[in-house]
Amino acid sequence: MILAIVTSAIASTQTTIIPSSRTSFSMGRQSALPRKFGAIHPRFHTPWFSTAVIAALAIAWYVPLNLLSENALFDTLSALSLMIAFYYALTGFACTIYYRRELTKSVNNFLFIGVGPLVGGAILGFLFVKSAIDLADPENSYSAQTILGMGVPFVIGVGFLLLGVVLLVLWRLGGHERFFGRQPFEAVDPAVARGDAAPVVSGGER
């Protein structure tokens, strides 16, 4: 029983850290974050810096909240659902746009990199709006607290999304042409889509 609980706890911890560290690692490689986030450990070949930063942020956020109030912790988990829905909705739309020139080349392409991601993005977009409306009601907050007359999960979720916009603007004002120099509505190279070539990002890096 103890082994089962420990294994479950480790798996839950990994699902918290790995997706976020993988995202920040990719952003570091594409110059959307400082290049240090894209660092690979010389021995273990893992994104050690991104993993360490995400783990530290998770500990700094959740441990004090858990000690303060379980209801406050549950409110943050509810807020997390908003950010996840927003992120994956954009991912679905981006997939369809990025591969748009490949959609008519086969039925599989049309369904799996066109219709599927587009429908998924639309569903998640709807769920984001619906959840945002629900979570804005203080009665749907575990802590039953309000901030500016709105539920705590709504304020946390939307607040972090707005913080992301602020950081995006500051990053843009700082230059970083390697990331922001991309052409609007760029499309995948057909050779990359076929698997015949490796993708090349801005600056010529593969």
pLDDT bracket for residue 40 (50, 70, 90): very high
pLDDT value for 92: 96
pLDDT above 50 for 6? yes
* Full-model pTM: 0.80
Instruction: Report whether 95 contacts 87 (CB < 8 A).
Output: no
Query: Does an H or E element contain 146, and which?
Result: strand 146-147
Give the DSSP H or E segment for 107.
helix 107-110
pLDDT above 90 covers a percentage of the chain that reads 52
Tell me the average pLDDT across 85-100. 94
Does pLDDT of 202 surpass 70?
no
Q: Which residue has the higher pLDDT, 3 or 165?
A: 165
Residue 203 has pLDDT above 70, yes or no: no
Q: How many Cβ atoms are within 10 Å of 159's Cβ, its own excluded?
A: 12
What is the per-residue pLDDT for 161?
94
pLDDT at 59 over 70: yes
Q: Which residue has the higher pLDDT, 13 or 43?
A: 43
Backbone angles phi and psi of 38, in degrees to 5: -95, 10
pLDDT in tens, 99-131: 999 999 999 999 999 999 999 999 999 999 999
Please report how the helices 152-173 and 116-135 are oriented relative to each other, as an axis angle in degrees rounded to 10.
Answer: 120
pLDDT digits (tens, 9 = 90+) for 95-107: 999 999 999 999 9
Is residue 198 classed as helix, strand or coil in its secondary structure?
coil
- Look up residue 156 and give its two tokens: 């946390």
Q: What integer best gives the mean pLDDT of the chain? A: 88
| Domain residue ranges of the chain, discontinuous segments joined by + | 1-25+43-68, 69-193
Evaluate if residue 72 carries a pLDDT over 90.
no
> Where do runs of H (alpha helix) occur along the chain?
2-29, 48-68, 70-98, 107-110, 116-135, 152-173, 177-180, 190-194
Q: Chain centroid to CA 152: how far?
A: 21
